[in-house]
């Protein structure tokens, strides 16, 4: 799932942030997906391993390469029973176009 924290109103531009250490359980949160549907982290917990992928700029060369790497390795992640959730500060509309351009790599 690819979400925009700006729609959560948390984490950027003067809003509070949450820091989670490696191995620490992430708190539940809700963000809009690219279809403007509210989605919660708790929807995915307990079913599969969850990997949260954050990236700052859809369509940038570095982020495009990063997301394409995940897309190209999804078979390995699926075999490991992992769900990838991609989160960006971009708007859901931008993220939807980005998803369509590079192909689905995770939940958006």
Which is the catalytic residue, given 1, 63, 84, 89? 63
Q: 49 in helix, strand or coil?
A: strand
Q: How many other C-beta atoms lie within 10 A of the C-beta of residue 15?
A: 11
Two tokens, residue 62 = 């570095």
Cα–Cα dist 98/40, whole Å = 21
Among candidate residues 94, 81, 83, 77, the one with its CA nearest the CA of residue 33: 94
Q: Residue with structure tokens 């925009």?
A: 4
The yes-or-no answer on residue 63 being catalytic is: yes
Task: Give catalytic residues, as residue numbers.
Answer: 63
């Amino acid at each position: 799932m690819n979400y925009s924290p700006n729609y959560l109103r948390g984490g950027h531009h003067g809003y509070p942030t949450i820091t989670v250490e490696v191995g620490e359980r992430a708190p539940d949160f809700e963000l809009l997906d690219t279809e403007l549907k509210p989605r919660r982290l708790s929807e995915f917990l307990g079913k599969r391993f969850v990997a949260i992928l954050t990236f700052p700029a859809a369509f940038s060369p570095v982020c495009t390469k990063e997301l394409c790497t995940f897309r190209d390795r999804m078979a390995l992640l699926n075999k490991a029973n992992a769900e990838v959730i991609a989160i960006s500060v971009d708007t859901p509309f931008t993220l939807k176009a980005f998803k369509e351009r590079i192909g689905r790599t995770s939940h958006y």
